Amino acid sequence: VRRIAVALLHYPVLDRAGQEVTTAITNLDVHDIARSAYSYGIERYFVVHPIDAQRRLVERVREHWVSGAGRLRIPDRQFPMGSVEIVSDLAEAHATWSDDHPAEIWTTSAASGGDVLAHAEARGLLREAGAKVLFVFGTGWGLAPRVHAKSTRRLAPIPSVRPDGYNHLSVRAAAAILFDRLLGNPACVSEMPRPFEGSP
Ligand code: SAM
């Protein structure tokens, strides 16, 4: 099976007008995606922000749960928060996660169209041997096109069941749903459970 990490980008992402912007860190994104990633055996969670003050804010939140008062209050939160790593840009996350083989970058978006990788096919690829994978999620109105342009794969959007096609999920919800679709252990389906790769 592939070893997997996830990155949350705050730049370059788009604003409502389709311009490139930098978004602010949302504390909930740090916690929720850390817990979802850890639950699905994803080994590292890179929170990516170009502004030092924002990176330090995430560092303080991480330390609170890994070695501070948070650890005393809710000990089991230290493990998912311990998998959080704060970096300046996607290149740094990619370099950190890659080893002798560059990790593949798999981007995500609510937008359909283009050459996207269906979830069932993605699930199969992740169960084979191969290069490490770095899932990339955006904030704001989504990842800037130049991030998708550098990706190895672009995952198909989580589709809407609505006639109007509305599928703009929060990044926390989208991450959890995609993790479950791609990595989940559907006990209801007679598939071999995914052997756990992460550190205990
Ligand atoms: N319109 C934006 C887009 O198409 O990505 C929505 C951005 S949403 C607030 C932030 C992030 O959540 C996106 O960058 C993407 O990573 C993820 N996301 C949101 N809805 C999604 C969906 N239906 N399928 C896959 N990813 C989704």
Asked if residues 9 and 140 have their Cβ atoms less than 8 Å apart, the reply is: no
Asked if residues 108 and 78 have their Cβ atoms less than 8 Å apart, the reply is: no
143 lines ligand 1 (CB under 6 A): yes
Task: Ligand 1, residue 109: give the atom nearest the CA.
Answer: 5
138 lines ligand 1 (CB under 6 A): yes
- Checking if the pLDDT of 28 tops 80, the result is yes
111 lines ligand 1 (CB under 6 A): yes
Per-residue pLDDT band for 195 (boundaries 50, 70, 90) equals: low
167 lines ligand 1 (CB under 6 A): yes
Dig out the tokens for 157 from the structure.
């959007």
Q: Is 114 exposed, middle or buried (0-12, 13-18, 19+ CB in 10 A)?
A: exposed
- Checking if the pLDDT of 192 tops 80, the result is no
pLDDT given at position 200: 46
CA-based R_g, the chain, Å? 16
Alpha-carbon span 41 to 53, nearest angstrom: 30
Alpha-carbon span 181 to 155, nearest angstrom: 12
Task: Ligand 1, residue 160: give the atom nearest the CA.
Answer: 23
Kindly report which listed range (47-56, 59-68, 166-175, 186-195) carries the lowest average pLDDT score: 186-195
% the chain with pLDDT above 90: 89
How do residues 129-158 score in pLDDT, each as one tens digit? 999 999 999 999 999 999 999 999 999 999
158 Cα: distance to centroid of ligand 1 (angstroms)? 9
- Checking if the pLDDT of 72 tops 70, the result is yes
141 lines ligand 1 (CB under 6 A): yes
Asked if residues 102 and 89 have their Cβ atoms less than 8 Å apart, the reply is: no
Q: What is the pTM of this model?
A: 0.92
**From atom 22 of ligand 1, which residue's Cα is the shortest distance away?**
110
